[in-house]
Amino acid sequence: MKRIRVGLLGFGTVGAGVFHALRSQEEIILRRTGAVFDIRSILVQNAAKERPAEVKPLITTDFRRVLKEEIQVVVEAIGGIEPARTYVEQAIEAGCHIVTANKELVAKHGVELERMARRNGVHFFYEASVGGGIPVLGTLIHFLKSNRIHRVSGILNGTTNYILTRMAEEAAPFEQVLEEARQKGYAEADPSADVDGFDAVYKLVILGRLAFEADISVSDVQREGIRDVTAVELAMARRLGYTVKLLAVGEQYGENGPISLGVEPALLPLPHPLASVNGVYNAIHLEGDMVQDVTLVGQGAGEQPTSSAVVEDLCNLSLLPSPMRSLKTEPLILPAAETGGRRFVCLETREHGVPEAKTLKSRLESIGLSVEETTVSPEGGAAFILRRWDPSYPSVLVAELGLDLARISVRRVFGTEAAAKNRSPEVGTAV
Amino acid sequence: MKRIRVGLLGFGTVGAGVFHALRSQEEIILRRTGAVFDIRSILVQNAAKERPAEVKPLITTDFRRVLKEEIQVVVEAIGGIEPARTYVEQAIEAGCHIVTANKELVAKHGVELERMARRNGVHFFYEASVGGGIPVLGTLIHFLKSNRIHRVSGILNGTTNYILTRMAEEAAPFEQVLEEARQKGYAEADPSADVDGFDAVYKLVILGRLAFEADISVSDVQREGIRDVTAVELAMARRLGYTVKLLAVGEQYGENGPISLGVEPALLPLPHPLASVNGVYNAIHLEGDMVQDVTLVGQGAGEQPTSSAVVEDLCNLSLLPSPMRSLKTEPLILPAAETGGRRFVCLETREHGVPEAKTLKSRLESIGLSVEETTVSPEGGAAFILRRWDPSYPSVLVAELGLDLARISVRRVFGTEAAAKNRSPEVGTAV
């Protein structure tokens, strides 16, 4: 039996979850890994706060005291950049392995922290930073080694997925469902990190680095949140056979080719493996040249799934190697194209003056647009899918249709055969 | 660079796929693992068959000649028990690692072969034997170490999933869709291994061993195929909000508790993560006490996905440890209960004499049955879901309803809240 001395930074949802998990799973971990993880010290901000009796003697507010306990692994569960970053750096320099659930830290400073860890002969593991309990980073690192990954797409944020799912189910507006999500504890008091897409961006950066072996940074990802998604467009998309998700997509065009990365509300055809992922679930769709496609679905947040990922990393410190991948330092980042590609257009009218679907379709075609599907709603409003998009179209639509519009939404349509066919042939077999 | 000498047994779909993959992925494998896999010899049955020029010089029909090439790894892609088993045993004794895609061999003799491999200091890897390209065995072994798995359920056979999907889409009978599947190459000339559930049983045995750490054998799994599933019951199930899948389910009741294992056509509620897995896709739903649930979806067969799994195993021979799990040798196997639990009952009538849904429901309730949902079809026939089942019910139904019945189908209803609540509390938090 190996006894491994652990320092725990933070005792919030994840920190407390890890503490409890290492106790409840102690026997099974010992049996399967030969190790016992012994938390020697817990760093908190507020020492005065009431804690369980077994936690109290371990509490400290001084990081230096954590390192004095001859810690072998530091579990960082503070979140955010500072002081987490400084502590992690000091712990690496003191020769500790790091296990973290901190997506912002890994997205913004993961590359240098990983390099620092390698120099110091320690591991820097962060499975819990993406997709909670879903072992997607491990899958990319260990089980898709021989695959060239050409696309990673995911529903990486449970809060926004819950909100979009409920908006569609209840035909309710964003603000109302956001309030409901807050009351249920699915959204923070300040929901910006989730609803404006920052959280999904961090996770896509981490996934993209492993998938494309490139030093991707947060500013490389185009970002659009869900604040302006309406219940009307969700309903119209559904009538056309699509669902709207906050999708994080990274694509590489050809081996070592340019990469494009974006987080935005986009349409998925209902049979797509990500389309049926509802509520607080997360999912990641990985496309590789040999494996074709693999989708992983699970609980992307919550105390138990996230602690599960942290504890699995702890178990694997002595068992799995660090990945042997070197990152291409200045990858060519292509912004998502403004022009071309399929788009869903939803027109919300002030008055009930929308023509029938067939009439609308022929009017759109008469002004030179290539229309795939059209629907109009009895409550007013129309939606259609265009085969090609040009940024000049909104003004064309306003001028030509002569409708009293309250709103035009334009969303990318994802996961189509056309998209697969447009992929560079070098990337591998089309799915 | 390490050069690893490989002997390949079999040059069918998987064997040829591995041969080509090791060439097309050579550069990426070298970069990520530091190794080059060099196929030195290929064992085939028929030496006279026309082969590609680069294959010809490697062909042999004599297994002893394969071992004479100072092989370090044998890839077994013959399938079936003999001669695969004998060759694998001889290769292990000669000190070769084994990578196999052979589910029947692993299900029937995997435990002893793994033991033999350990004694000889070599690895016995078989990721490709379950779920094609889906890295489910690796996920169970390496990323769910600290989790007690209480249920594994899966759609493990692409042929039957394709058939059931098409039967539902086209309202077509089994035999017609089977013929279509044969023509498309999704079903074998002799479809028994697939449609009678043997293939899914082999895979469930392998999954169950890893999930429950018990020496499960093929005879421990209750098996029912899809030959008697009708298009009518698929349509009726859909009206009630369910889909019918050939489900492989393994459950353990309490830590180290009894295990039950079955493969049968069963109903899944449409929001279940496995319900939207259609066509030739496979999926596995893993439920653990910490992670809650993780679902893996992907292509369960085909040259490229299966070779991907074989090649990933090859890459991991020198990187990942063999699992440190010992198998409980005589697990208590519980047969799936005949009594209790929810059942879907579908009555197909000879004449159009079915009462209305409401009337039917009250008649069923008047004879003491606890009915959840009822539907009748305009084409004749009725279906309902009963909260509790008793094997005496079919005769009760025949006697009491007085319908001219052509057929009664009874199917288990899976993945309900009720089922979760019935789970032993020791097993973990209910999902």
- The answer to whether B279 and B419 have CB atoms below 8 angstroms apart is no
Spell out which residues of chain A touch residue B306, defining contact as CB-CB under 8 Å. none
Residue A422 has pLDDT above 70, yes or no: no
Residue B305 and residue A311: Cβ atoms within 8 Å? no
Q: Which residue has tokens 């659930």?
A: A101
Residue A334, φ and ψ in degrees, nearest 5: -100, 125
Tens-digit pLDDT string for chain B (431 aa): 899 999 999 999 999 999 999 999 999 999 999 999 999 999 999 999 999 999 999 999 999 999 999 999 999 999 999 999 999 999 999 999 999 999 999 999 999 999 999 999 999 999 999 999 999 999 999 999 999 999 999 999 999 999 999 999 999 999 999 999 999 988 998 999 999 999 999 999 999 999 999 999 999 999 999 999 999 999 999 999 999 999 999 999 998 899 999 999 999 999 899 999 988 899 999 999 999 999 999 999 889 999 999 999 999 998 888 776 778 878 999 987 777 789 999 999 887 677 888 888 999 999 999 999 899 887 778 999 999 999 899 989 888 888 888 899 999 999 764 333 333 222 222 22
Residue A364 DSSP label: H
Residue A292 and residue B311: Cβ atoms within 8 Å? no
Residue B320 and residue A325: Cβ atoms within 8 Å? no
Q: Distance between CA atoms of B272 and B123, rounded to whole angstroms? A: 36
Lowest-pLDDT range of A175-179, A247-251, A425-429? A425-429
Residue A315 and residue B21: Cβ atoms within 8 Å? no
Percent of all residues in chain A with a pLDDT value above 70, rounded to a whole number: 96
Residue A149 Cα to chain centre, angstroms: 17
Q: Distance between CA atoms of B39 and B26, rounded to whole angstroms? A: 12
Spell out which residues of chain A touch residue B324, defining contact as CB-CB under 8 Å. 32-34
Best mutation target among B18, B19, B145 (most A Cβ atoms within 10 Å) is B145
> Which sign, positive or negative, has the C-alpha torsion B145, B146, B152, B155?
negative
Instruction: For residue A189, give Cα distances in angstroms to A103, A184, A192, A316, B194.
Output: 19, 11, 9, 35, 53
Helix (H, G, I), strand (E, B) or coil at A348: strand
Strand order in the sheet with A281-288: A222-223, A259-269, A242-252, A149-155, A281-288, A292-299, B292-299, B281-288, B149-155, B242-252, B259-269, B222-223
How would DSSP label each residue in A114-170?
HHHHHHTT--EE-GGGSSTT--HHHHHHHSSTTPPEEEEEEE--HHHHHHHHHHHHH
Which of B273, B291, B295 has its CB closest to that of A308? Answer: B291
Alpha-carbon gap: B139 to the closest alpha carbon of chain A (Å): 7
| Nearest chain A alpha carbon to B275 | A276
Spell out which residues of chain A touch residue B299, defining contact as CB-CB under 8 Å. 291-293
Helix (H) or strand (E) holding B192: helix B192-195
Instruction: For residue B288, give Cα distances in angstroms to B212, B282, B426.
Output: 11, 20, 12
Residue B238 DSSP label: H
Antiparallel, parallel or unpaired: β A73-76 and A2-9: parallel
Q: Could you tell me the two tokens for A152?
A: 């990673």
Residue range A308-365, pLDDT digits in tens: 999 999 999 988 887 767 788 789 999 877 777 899 999 998 876 778 888 889 999 9
Residue A290 and residue B308: Cβ atoms within 8 Å? yes
Strand order in the sheet with B97-100: B59-60, B35-43, B2-9, B73-76, B97-100, B124-125
Residue A429 has pLDDT above 80, yes or no: no
> Which sign, positive or negative, has the C-alpha torsion A135, A254, B133, B119?
negative
Helix (H) or strand (E) holding A371: strand A371-376
Q: Distance between CA atoms of A296 and A269, rounded to whole angstroms? A: 18
Q: How many CB contacts within 8 angstroms connect chain A with chain B?
A: 182
Active site residue B203: yes
| Nearest chain A alpha carbon to B274 | A276
The length of chain B, given as a count of residues: 431
Residue A145 and residue B316: Cβ atoms within 8 Å? yes
Helices B158-170, B174-183: axis angle to 10 degrees equals 120
| Residue partners of A83: CB distance under 8 A and separation at least 6 | A63
Residue A324 and residue B33: Cβ atoms within 8 Å? yes
Q: Distance between CA atoms of A84 and A126, rounded to whole angstroms? A: 14
Residue B291 and residue A304: Cβ atoms within 8 Å? yes
Best mutation target among B29, B143, B272, B276 (most A Cβ atoms within 10 Å) is B143
Helix (H) or strand (E) holding B265: strand B259-269
Greatest alpha-carbon pair distance for chain B in Å reads: 77
The CATH number corresponding to A136-298 among 3.10.620.30, 1.10.443.10, 3.30.360.10, 2.40.50.100 equals 3.30.360.10
The CATH number corresponding to A343-412 among 3.30.420.10, 3.10.20.30, 3.90.1300.10, 3.30.70.260 equals 3.30.70.260
CATH class of B136-299: alpha beta
Q: What angle do CA B20, B24, B25 make, to 5 degrees?
A: 115
Spell out which residues of chain A touch residue B293, defining contact as CB-CB under 8 Å. 298-299
Instruction: Please give the pLDDT value at position B122.
Output: 96
Q: Could you tell me the two tokens for B323?
A: 């699992």
| Nearest chain B alpha carbon to A127 | B143
Q: Distance between CA atoms of B426 and B431, rounded to whole angstroms? A: 13
| Nearest chain A alpha carbon to B322 | A319
Burial class (CB in 10 A: 0-12, 13-18, 19+), A152: buried
CB hemisphere CA count around A307 (13 angstroms) = 26
Residue B139 and residue A134: Cβ atoms within 8 Å? no
Q: Could you tell me the two tokens for B287?
A: 């439920």
Strand order in the sheet with A382-386: A371-376, A382-386, A343-349, A405-412
Residue A312 and residue B146: Cβ atoms within 8 Å? yes
**Any idea which residues of A carry the catalytic annotation?**
203
Instruction: Please give the pLDDT value at position B145.
Output: 95
Instruction: Please give the pLDDT value at position B398.
Output: 87
Spell out which residues of chain A touch residue B275, defining contact as CB-CB under 8 Å. 276
Residue A418 has pLDDT above 70, yes or no: no
Instruction: Please give the pLDDT value at position A156.
Output: 98
| Nearest chain A alpha carbon to B318 | A321
Residue A341 Cα to chain centre, angstroms: 23
Instruction: Please give the pLDDT value at position A88.
Output: 98
- The answer to whether A117 and A98 have CB atoms below 8 angstroms apart is yes
Q: Distance between CA atoms of A31 and A18, rounded to whole angstroms? A: 18
Which has the closest alpha carbon to B290: B136, B149, B426, B138?
A: B149
Q: Distance between CA atoms of A212 and A256, rounded to whole angstroms? A: 8
| Residue partners of B94: CB distance under 8 A and separation at least 6 | B67, B71
Burial class (CB in 10 A: 0-12, 13-18, 19+), A100: buried
Instruction: Please give the pLDDT value at position B427.
Output: 25
Which of B203, B245, B361, B421 is flagged as catalytic? B203
Spell out which residues of chain A touch residue B291, defining contact as CB-CB under 8 Å. 133, 298-299, 304-305, 308-309
Residue B307 and residue A321: Cβ atoms within 8 Å? no
Instruction: For residue B75, give Cα distances in angstroms to A142, B10, B16, B61, B142.
Output: 19, 9, 11, 15, 22
Helix (H) or strand (E) holding B155: strand B149-155
Residue type, B53: A
Beta bridge partners of B223: B263
Beta bridge partners of A247: A264
| Nearest chain A alpha carbon to B149 | A28
A 10 A CB-CB count for B196 gives 17
Omega within 30 of 0 (cis) for the link into A83: yes
A 10 A CB-CB count for B364 gives 22
Alpha-carbon gap: B297 to the closest alpha carbon of chain A (Å): 5
Q: Distance between CA atoms of A239 and A262, rounded to whole angstroms? A: 26
How would DSSP label each residue in B101-114?
--HHHHHHHHHHHH
- The answer to whether B304 and B311 have CB atoms below 8 angstroms apart is no
pLDDT band at A423 (very low <50, low <70, confident <90, very high): very low
Q: Could you tell me the two tokens for A270?
A: 């209902």
CB hemisphere CA count around B377 (13 angstroms) = 22
The length of chain A, given as a count of residues: 431
Q: Distance between CA atoms of A386 and A364, rounded to whole angstroms? A: 10
Which has the closest alpha carbon to A109: A7, A181, A27, A205?
A: A205
Instruction: For residue B198, give Cα distances in angstroms to B54, B118, B188, B193, B286.
Output: 36, 28, 14, 5, 21
| Nearest chain B alpha carbon to A278 | B271
- What is the CATH number assigned to the segment(s) A2-129? 3.40.50.720
- The answer to whether A249 and A261 have CB atoms below 8 angstroms apart is yes
Alpha-carbon gap: A271 to the closest alpha carbon of chain B (Å): 8
Instruction: For residue B71, give Cα distances in angstroms to A70, B94, B315.
Output: 46, 9, 16
Spell out which residues of chain B touch residue A293, defining contact as CB-CB under 8 Å. 298-299
pLDDT band at A70 (very low <50, low <70, confident <90, very high): very high
Spell out which residues of chain A touch residue B142, defining contact as CB-CB under 8 Å. 138, 142, 316, 319-320
Q: Which residue has tokens 């049968």?
A: B264
Q: Distance between CA atoms of B11 and B13, rounded to whole angstroms? A: 7
Best mutation target among A22, A30, A291, A295 (most B Cβ atoms within 10 Å) is A291
Instruction: Please give the pLDDT value at position A404.
Output: 84
Residue B328 DSSP label: B
Residue A292 and residue B299: Cβ atoms within 8 Å? yes
Residue A428 has pLDDT above 60, yes or no: no
* Domain range annotation of chain B: 2-129, 136-299, 343-412
